[in-house]
Amino acid sequence: MQSIHSLLRRWPVWSLTSLFAVSTWAATQPLGERVTTLLAQQAPATAETERAERMARDALERAKRAAASEQAALRESADVLVETAHEWAQLRAELSELDKLEKRSVEAQARLQELDSQLKREQAHLEETEARRGRALAELEKLAPTSPSSTATPETELQP
Amino acid sequence: MTARLPGPPPSWLVLLLTCLFAACASLPRPVVLDRSLSTSKSTAMADVQQRAPQAFARAEQLRLKAEEALSNDKPVLSEALAEQALVAFERAALQARMVQVRQRLAKTKVEVERRTQQVAELAALQTRAAEATKQLELRLEIEKHALPRAAIEPGGGVRRATARVEAARSIVQSAQLLCVAAKLLAPENATVVRVLREVEDLASSLQTLQPHEALAQAMDARMRCLTVLSEVRSEDRTLSSADPADALLSKLSPSLAELRPHRDDRGIVLTAYDIWSEAGELTRQGRELLDRIVPIARTNDLNMLVVVYRDGKQALPRAPNDLEQVLLSAGIDASVQVVAELPSLLEVSSGQARQVRTEFVLVTQ
């Protein structure tokens, strides 16, 4: 039990170590494989993400052909083409991140609208209650001019 | 002397000059490089440069590398770099959009937090206002009924006497139901028990009284029952609580709309028609209805007053007493009363008027 607690206490060390391990693994992984890994990740099926995926695969294919070419000029461009494929794969991942962000933004907007309506309802309800209270007070004062003051809540106490 | 005109240049010279010109001419610019240049200088990119400066700078650097590669006579590399620069510009634009969405989201979240707080503050204020209002209204109700009643003079002919007796019966019945509701809320309260007994005595002795006396006493009895009910409620009510009946009524209104939920002095009233069979037992529809109402009463810890109205032509339902047992065994303090039909304030169709009316009153605190 104590050892679990001591492990939990050292969570910053663990998380930093894991982060370092992940980034080291990513850095040592060849760029072409990183492109494949990125493309294997889930992304919303939109025209933009599909285009990015298609372009990434196309660039990767061209990079392979360039690397195998007999012309030196073509071979020279192979690395740049792999980097371009990586750019496309990253673009695809970012598109999916943007999609999530936009969904969250829409949800937040909807929640805000809901709260706005709730606020209006509460305000209307309060106004109605205040009107009822005013009527009851007036009637009580008519019936017994001195008695209601003892039970009535002062007006200022209910002001927002 | 004749001048010698120069002849056509020798073909070897023409070939040499052509080769020289061809060697000196610049390489054709890749189209993609022009595209990356126009993208970089576009007005849309001015905004991107502000929102995502690092991503833009990186793309611009790639474009410059492509230009450099072209000037170093490496058109293939230049084309590849320009293509990469174009994707990098696209990513920069995307990152600018993300910054925008993030800013909007953060702003909305702050607003949501602010609104939530405002709603909570307003709700708390409403709770206090509703409570203060309720107390005032209770007090008003008591004060109103405590006002000296105008004396009812005897006489006025047979028709007036008959009307007075009918009115007295109706008022005593209403008083009884109010007192039963109070008893459900405070079964041990000595005042409630005493007033209920007095009202029951009055109901049985009503025929022996003069019409004007019967009416006067009935009105006094109703006032007493209303007063004890109000007192029982104000004893139980805590200042922090909102009016539970209002909250429950708004909750029930959509789901039990066909029972026309409404409030009266006793609590929330649900009205059903024709839920008794010829043999005087609950019909299937009645049992289903009970299955819907019982959980509500149980969940909200409410007592139930069931009032079965009948007129002289209708058979008296046999089951009410069984119904009381059923409700008690379901954990609900209940009272079932069978009373003579009174003119209803609710609008009913002629078909409904012929049916046995049953009120399920959820007695609220």
Q: Is B316 on the interface with A (CB under 8 A)?
A: no
Residues of chain A neighbouring B108 (CB-CB closer than 8 A) = 105, 108-109, 112
Residue range B142-169, pLDDT digits in tens: 777 777 777 777 777 888 888 888 889 8
Burial readout A127-138 (b: 16 or more C-beta within 10 A, e: otherwise): eebbebbeebbe
Q: What single-letter amino acid sits at B299?
A: T
| B120 touching A (Cβ < 8 Å) | no
Torsion angle, alpha carbons of B114, B119, B124, B128, to 10: 130
Residue B341 has a pLDDT of 62
Given a cut of 60, whether residue B238 has pLDDT beyond it is no
Q: Which residue has the higher pLDDT, A20 or B353?
A: A20
pLDDT bracket for residue A29 (50, 70, 90)? low
Q: Do A94 and B98 touch (CB under 8 A)?
A: yes
By C-alpha distance, which of B296, B288, B294, B322 is closest to B308? Answer: B322
Provide the residue count of chain A.
160
Average pLDDT score, chain B: 82
Closest CA to B69 of B78, B61, B60: B78
The whole-angstrom distance between B17's CA and the closest CA on chain A is: 28
| Other residues' Cβ atoms within 10 Å of the Cβ of residue B313 | 7
- The DSSP element (H or E) to which B289 belongs, if any, is helix B284-299
pLDDT class for B332, splitting at 50, 70, 90?
A: confident
Hey, is the C-beta of B23 within 8 angstroms of any chain A C-beta? Answer: no
Q: Is the pLDDT of residue B283 over 90?
A: no
Read off the pLDDT of residues B178-211 as tens digits, 9 standing for 90 and up. 999 898 888 888 999 999 999 999 988 888 888 8
Q: What are phi and psi of B74, to 5 degrees?
A: -125, 75
Is the pLDDT reported for residue B110 higher than 50?
yes
Least confident of A18-22, A123-127, B82-86: A18-22
Task: Determine contact: B84 vs chain A, CB below 8 A.
Answer: yes
For position B254, what pLDDT does the model report?
74
Global confidence as pTM: 0.54
Q: B273, B354 in Cβ contact below 8 A?
A: no
Region of residue B213 (phi > 0: left; psi between -120 and 50: alpha; otherwise: beta): alpha
B19 vs A: CB within 8 A: no
Interface test with B, best of A71, A80, A83 (most B CBs within 10 A): A80
pLDDT, greater one: B317 or A38: A38
When pLDDT is averaged across residues B231-249 and rounded to a whole number, the result is 66
Q: Examine the pLDDT at A35 and tell me if it is beyond 80.
A: yes
How far apart (Å, rounded) are the C-alpha atoms in residues B133 and A155? 12
Q: What is the pLDDT of residue B158?
A: 81
Nearest-CB residue to B74 (from A76, A87, A108): A76
What mean pLDDT, rounded, does chain A reach? 81
How is the beta sheet containing B357-363 ordered, strand by strand? B262-263, B267-273, B357-363, B303-310, B334-340
Residue bearing the bigger pLDDT, B65 or B132: B65
In sequence order, the 6+-apart residues with CB closer than 8 A to the CB of B328 are B334
B interface test, pick of A75, A129, A140, A143 with most B CB neighbours within 10 Å: A129
Which region, left, alpha or beta, applies to residue B280 given φ > 0 means left and ψ of -120 to 50 means alpha?
Answer: left
Pick from A3-7, B85-89, B204-208: least confident: A3-7
CA distances from B271 to B47, B258, B297, B341 (A): 66, 8, 15, 13
Classify residue A92 as exposed, middle or buried by CB count within 10 Å of its CB (0-12, 13-18, 19+).
buried
Q: Which tokens belong to A6? A: 């001591």
Task: For residues B215 and B257, give the distance between their C-alpha atoms in angstroms, rounded to a whole number.
Answer: 36
pLDDT band at residue A155 using 50, 70 and 90 as cut-offs: very low
- Report how far residue B305's alpha carbon sits from residue B333's, in angstroms, rounded to the nearest whole number: 9
What pLDDT shows up at residue B319? 59
ipTM metric: 0.71
pLDDT (average), residues A78-92: 95
User: Which of A23-32, B56-65, B219-228 reaches the highest mean pLDDT?
Assistant: B56-65
Task: Please indicate whether, in this complex, the C-beta atoms of B98 and A101 are within 8 angstroms of each other.
Answer: yes
* CA-wise closest residue to B214 among B156, B154, B145, B159: B154
Q: Could you tell me the two tokens for A61?
A: 């294919």
